[in-house]
Structure 1
Amino acid sequence: MDIIDLIDRTRDSISARSVFGQPIQQGEVTVIPVARVMGGGGGGGGEGPVPEANSRKGMGHGEGTGFGLSARPAGAFVIRGDRVSWLPVVEPTRIILGLQVLAGIALLVHSLTRQRGH
């Protein structure tokens, strides 16, 4: 695979088709699921002589490519008649982590203010 092919595949994978799911209709309500999509790719190359001990005596070569894609649910657009609303996904683990960080900072500040007072 060459670098141009990798870039084309990356561009095709990270598109509106990846972000917006197929609309789901129930009665007069339409729901369009939405994802947060991130991705990237990379490539490499090389040339140059290889030590004589190598079976390809004196020949050099190298190559490399990589690709990554991450998708997480973000929410959904809900369409009722001529009204559109956004319902975000609530991620309990992120909320809990945020509260833990906040509690840690509060304990640190409390500890530092008590040390200054004595």
Structure 2
Amino acid sequence: MNFNEVISNARDSLTVKRVYGDPYEKDGLTVIPAASVRGGAGGGSGHDEKGQEGGGGGFGVNARPAGAYVIKDGDVSWRPALDVNRLIAATGLAVIVYLISRPRMARARAKSSESPSES
């Protein structure tokens, strides 16, 4: 696969259909799912002193649910998606920061409770 083929495949992969899904309609309610899509491609070619040529390329796509547009009675609203993995990671990080900083906070409280006349 040459670089032009990689770029062509990348262009085909990053279409609006990857960001917005097909609308779902039921009982007068329309839901249009949306995603956050990121991608990248790269490649190159060259030759050595013997005249041999070579090349390569690569492409990657990352997509995450972002939310959905909800249409009801002519009103449109945005409903963000809840990323449970990100929520768990943020909670875990907050707990780790608290546990690491707890001894420092205790030392600071102990120092502040000492009065200047006792020193």
TM-score range for the pair, normalised by the shorter chain length: 0.7 to 0.9
Residue 2 of structure 1: CA displacement?
2.8
Q: Partner amino acid for 1:96?
A: I
Instruction: Confirm whether residue 83 of structure 1 aligns to residue 75 of structure 2.
Output: yes
Unaligned runs of 5+ in 2: 112-119
C-alpha separation in 2, matches of 1:100 and 1:75:
24
Write out per-residue CA displacement over residues 34-67 of structure 1, whole angstroms, 9 at most, x where no aligned residue.
1111111110211012xxxxxxxx3422111101
Q: Which has the higher strand share?
A: 2
Runs of 4+ in 1 over 3 A off after TM superposition: 115-118
Partner of 1:43: 43
CA distance in 1, matches of 2:72, 2:17: 23
1:70 aligns with 2:62: yes
Root-mean-square deviation (CA, aligned residues, Å) is 1.7
1: CA distance, partners of 2:90 / 2:72: 34
1:3 aligns with 2:10: no
- Contiguous gaps of at least 5 residues in structure 1: 50-57
In structure 2, which of residues 74, 92, 102 is the aligned counterpart of residue 100 of structure 1? 92
What is the count of residue pairs matched by the alignment? Answer: 110
Query: 1:92, 1:6 → 2: CA distance?
Result: 33
Amino acid aligned to 1:40: G
